[in-house]
Amino acid sequence: MKSIKFWICSLISILSIMPVTCSAFTAPSSGDTGYEIYEFVTTTIMDGAIGITICIALIAFAGFWIARSNIWGALACFVAAVLFYSAEDIALSIGVLF
């Protein structure tokens, strides 16, 4: 038992002193391989009518869960709608450039 505690404490110590590196992803430029996929996802789906429809459907589904007295399901749907609507802003705030 002491051996397991020793190895766990050693692992935590090693992980806590390791240097943490952070790198941001950049949006692909016009000639890159993934540019068409990136443009489709950000412009057509997230910022377009599809994204708004997904958010409205999630809010409607949250209303359905409220009608069935399931507050946690409604809360999960509402949080998912807010996160989907503000995904680009969240990505920008954590360093991912859209």
24-78 pLDDT, tens digit each: 556 667 777 778 887 888 778 888 888 889 999 999 999 999 999 999 999 999 9
Phi, psi of 15 (to 5 degrees): -70, -30
| pLDDT reported for residue 77 | 93
Reference 95, options 26, 46, 19; nearest CA is: 26
**62 burial type by CB count under 10 A (0-12 exposed, 13-18 middle, 19+ buried):** buried
Identify how many contiguous H helices and E strands the chain contains and give both numbers: 5, 0
